[in-house]
Chains A and B, each alone.
Chain A
Amino acid sequence: MSARAQLLLSVADDELILGWRDSEWTGIAPTLEEDVAFSSIAQNEIGHARALYELAAVELGTDADALAFDRAPEEYRCAPLVELHLLEWAHTIARRYLYEEADRVRIEALMRSDDAELAGLAAKIDREETYHRLHAEMWAARLRDEPRFRDAVEELWPYAVGMLEPELRPELARRVGKPSNSLLQAHERGEHTPELQELWNEMTEVRRSVPGAQW
């Protein structure tokens, strides 16, 4: 597989799996407004995943649904950060905040790519992500002094580092206000958590029930 296809699948898998995790708040978020927000964010992230899979699919001779649902769990390229099953509000907000910061560093790098298709799609995704960042920014400001939130950010920081290629990590540390020696420990892409298998079982269950069906 080309480096380009690997990159596309890494970003797409992050967006799909985080979109799935965010959608787990639908119906059970602490307020009605957050119920709407998490559902909408999940829908956007999965939409971004689809567009990225479509780009990769042209090169790999397949389609977006097959890439999203027909691979084995160990073939997914998502970072461990998005796999974690965090049905606890402080951790969920800490992950949204760290994910958006890391994703922004990555998208800005992709927008500078000399691959016109990739740069164009990254620019479109960037516009939509503006609203996810505003949501994360609002919550991070509100919870900044809450020990539970600060502890969650500390705990998840090595996972956020693992989302990015090493050359982009110092920029992430600068934006989040972490010292550069905090980049030494990372939960790297390629490792998978046991939570991914559970998520995969549920996410692909209907599609696996009737292989090859047109839905």
Chain B
Amino acid sequence: MVIKTAVTAEQVWAALEEIPDPEIPVISLVDLGVIRDVAVDGAQVRIEFTPTFLGCPALEVMKRALQVKVTELGADPDVAVIQDDSWSTDRITAAGREKLREAGFAPPAPRAAGATTLVQLQSKAFRCPYCGSTETKLENIFGPTPCRSIRWCESCRQPFEQFKTI
């Protein structure tokens, strides 16, 4: 019989900080905001995980990584997948947004104004992560993964990936 170890919520959060996003490894799952809650009862750890996009192929990888990390702490994981709208790109932390920008991904615009419109997407409010220019235009609403769009920077003349706001 395997003896499980009692852990604290702080230990669990610190361990989860180490899990990189499977597709954009510069950012952790904690910075991505997909961990809604960690509840600890002795050696039992319940994690509420909120998927980003429902069609994202990385969801199973993320869920498994959470289970493995808790198991490595010696505790017993229970990862609940919460399929409602509680995750939005506003849940990405300030540190996470900065890491995205440094890696060449323009972070998402805030949701404050409600659902995105075509006029917003075609406006020049989006900043190039390489040169900082707002002289950018929409190339494609869709990109290499469900969470990204493709834009073109007129100033440094190169394409870049823009996180969609959801």
Question: Which residues of A are at the interface with B, using a C-beta cutoff of 8 A?
Answer: 33, 36-37, 39-41, 43-48, 50-51, 54-55, 117, 120-121, 123-128, 130-131, 134-135, 137-138
Contact = CB atoms under 8 A, between A and B. Distances in A.
Contact of B142 (A41, A48, A121): A41
A51 B82 CA distance: 11
A130 B85 contact: no
Instruction: Give chain B's interface secondary structure class.
Output: loop
Interface of B: 53-57, 83-88, 115-118, 121, 139-144, 146, 150, 164, 166
Given A47-B146, A135-B141, 15 more contacts: A33-B140, A44-B146, A50-B54, A54-B83, A117-B84, A120-B85, A121-B84, A124-B84, A126-B85, A127-B88, A127-B115, A128-B55, A130-B115, A131-B116, A134-B121
Contacts of A39: 142
B141 A124 contact: no
A48 B53 CA distance: 9
Contact of B55 (A36, A47, A55): A47
A45 B146 CA distance: 11
B84 A120 contact: yes
A137 B84 contact: no
B55 A46 contact: yes
A30 B140 CA distance: 14
A43 B146 contact: yes
Contact of A47 (B53, B143, B144): B53
A48 B121 CA distance: 24
A131 B142 contact: yes
B55 A45 contact: yes
12 contacts: A39-B142, A40-B146, A43-B57, A46-B55, A47-B55, A55-B83, A123-B84, A128-B146, A128-B166, A130-B115, A134-B118, A134-B121
Contacts of A44: 53-55, 146
B117 A134 contact: yes
B140 A36 contact: yes
A51 B54 contact: yes
Given A40-B143, A40-B146, A121 B83 contact: yes
Contacts of B115: 127, 130
Nearest to A43: B55
B143 A36 contact: yes
What are the 4 closest A-B residue pairs judged by CB atoms, nearest first?
Answer: A47-B55, A120-B84, A40-B142, A47-B54
Contacts of B146: 40, 43-44, 47, 128
B83 A128 contact: no
Nearest to B50: A124
Give the most central of B53, B117, B143: most A CB within 10 Å: B53
A141 B56 CA distance: 29
